[in-house]
A and B are shown apart, each in its own frame.
Chain A
Amino acid sequence: MERVPILKIGQILLVSIQIDLQDQTVQVLQEDLAERIVRTGARGVIIDITAVDIVDSFIGRMFSTIASMSRLMDAETVVVGMRPAVAITLVELGLSLGGVRTALDLEKGMRLLGASLPSLADGR
């Protein structure tokens, strides 16, 4: 089974979804992410879905679950790079992704989390 990699940039964890998400993959991603947030003490999670062009209600709920979970561990979640077609689908499905912050692209997402890029930070 494929795993979604979790990258650490400064105090932010970056999850870039590049594959078709199966229910099993999502389950494992949530577990991995929770574990990484605790281990690294990350303050923010960015989920990059630029490469995702099909969503269903299950994936929509995943964003909310991850956001609530992260908030319990004091990390803010931002979903970035949502495509127009995906946004329209989610609205038609009646999912508003309550509690999830969104940004147009990775750069704006990082700015939203108030984080400077790692090269500018003190070498963490």
Chain B
Amino acid sequence: MSGAVGTRISEILEDREAVLGRWVELVTEGVRGRITEREVRTELGELYGLVQRELADGDESAAGELRAALQEISRSRARQGFSPSETAVSVFALKQAVHERIGAAGEETAYAQFIAFSGYVDELGLMTFETYSATREQVIADQAEQLLELATPVVKLWDGILGVPLVGTLDSARTQVVMETLLQMLVDTGSQFAVIDITGVPAVDTEVAQHLLKTVMAARLMGTECVISGIRPQIAQTIVTLGIEFGDIVTKASLADALAYALAASGVRLVEGAGA
């Protein structure tokens, strides 16, 4: 890298106080008080030193450190709520700081070298962009996974009766998870009944109904019975309009009704006590 950029740029960078000072000034203007000048100076001072080392000595370890430092800055800026362009622009500001120095001296050769230097800074700026999107993608992937786990709990309602409160849209992947979790829990707890509550499912179409039917059939094959509850008026209308047949599967309007049905079917009798 050092050979391509040329000695004149390195010489300009030697004047650390002036170039770094101008760079910090430009960046501080851009961030408009969201981080203090002192913080900017510490961050950029570190970067500046590393850029200098890489350009002047062709130092391999400095190149690695520089990229790590940039990634760190990009990540912390992302957390502070800066947009990726703002982070990248603060790196690009170094070009302007150097360019102004060349303009002051008015040298022809330095301009040629400045083109190469500009390419080098662009590369660094783009790297902050990449780090930013990689960080965001990681966050999204984590959230998707958490959502899948959160959204499919299987709870015990009574001895031998499980409840599955479904919330959110049902797609094939989720149904698969629900089906597997539910069936495994039925085996583990030796439960005879499962109540699938779809109060939180925003819409039921033929696909969702198909998924529900499959789950119920699989549970039935294992010798257990499923009751579907939480069918709201609009959903009941949609189901009839679409001509979906739930066959002989028991459906109830509310979770309470379904629980009462399951209790009665498993031979539990509820008696009102004195406190009621």
Contact = CB atoms under 8 A, between A and B. Distances in A.
Query: A and B, one complex?
Result: yes
Contact of A80 (B191, B219, B223): B223
Contacts, number: 55
B167 to A, nearest CB: 22
Q: Is the interface of A mostly helix, strand, loop or mixed?
A: mixed
Contacts of B179: 84, 88
Q: Is the interface of B mostly helix, strand, loop or mixed?
A: helix
A109 B223 contact: yes
Given A84-B180, A88-B179, A88-B183, A97 B190 contact: no
Interface in B198-253: 214, 217-224
Interface residues of B, number: 18
A108 B180 contact: no
Interface in A76-104: 78-80, 82-84, 86-88, 90-92, 96-97, 101-104
B192 A84 contact: no
A23 interface: no
Interface of B: 179-180, 183-184, 186-187, 190-192, 214, 217-224
Chain A to chain B: the 3 pairs with minimum beta-carbon distance, closest first: A84-B183, A102-B223, A103-B223
25 contacts: A80-B223, A82-B221, A84-B183, A84-B187, A84-B218, A86-B221, A87-B222, A88-B179, A88-B180, A90-B221, A91-B214, A91-B218, A92-B214, A96-B217, A97-B221, A102-B220, A102-B221, A102-B223, A104-B186, A104-B187, A104-B191, A104-B222, A104-B223, A108-B192, A112-B223
